[in-house]
Amino acid sequence: MRRCLVFDFDGTIADTLGEGLSIYNELAEKNGYNLISPDQLDNLRELDTNGLLKHLGVPKRKLPFHLATAMRRLRSRIKHLSLIEGVQDVLPLLRERSEQMGILSSNIPENIDTFLEVHGIRDEFSFVSSIGKLSGKARHLRSIARTFSLAPGEITYVGDEIRDLRAARKAKVEVIAVTWGLNSRRSLSRENPTFLIDQPSELLDIV
């Protein structure tokens, strides 16, 4: 049994990529940033956060403001979004195999809780932790360890982005990289995750 299994939210549990791109393009058009077209996605999936911001022409200093605006816009749309296919089937089994199972996300609590309630999976998670920004997951992973009196090696983080993997490495926790979210399999593989999987069902082979 795993002591603590922690999931990212956007792109890992919730299929928010399409709506996220729509909201980004709304903000980009208003602020004069580079728009994202569907044919660019494969190339953009290779980039880390800094590379993506540079490519799009988004200043880092404005990122907190834009992220807050995006989260507010997502609030009215979140209940209409889908679960990643296959996730709902494995969550109950993973919960049985974990002492604690939670979410650590850059998204805001209102969005996460609404989505989980709509899909009837809120009770699968013993905690939801939101950082409300793109950085800081390593510190929050260490905080989760303290909360549940865990050693870092007793936590497994599941995420779909390069920044998730780097945060997990910084916090010295095991990480499962999933290829169905934002970053590509190739870009995730370069970060040397503990595990790299392509389907939610593969989580059951690990946990």
What is the full DSSP assignment across 124-181? G-SEEEE-SSSS-HHHHHHHHHHHTT--GGGEEEEESSHHHHHHHHHHT-EEEEETTS
Question: Are the CB atoms for 162 and 48 separated by under 8 Å?
Answer: yes
**Per-residue tokens: 203:** 């989580």
Given the residues 8, 15, 160, 164, select the one marked as catalytic.
Answer: 8
Taking the CB of residue 135, how many other CB atoms lie within 10 A of it? 14
Check if 42 is active-site. no
- Catalytic sites, residue numbers: 8
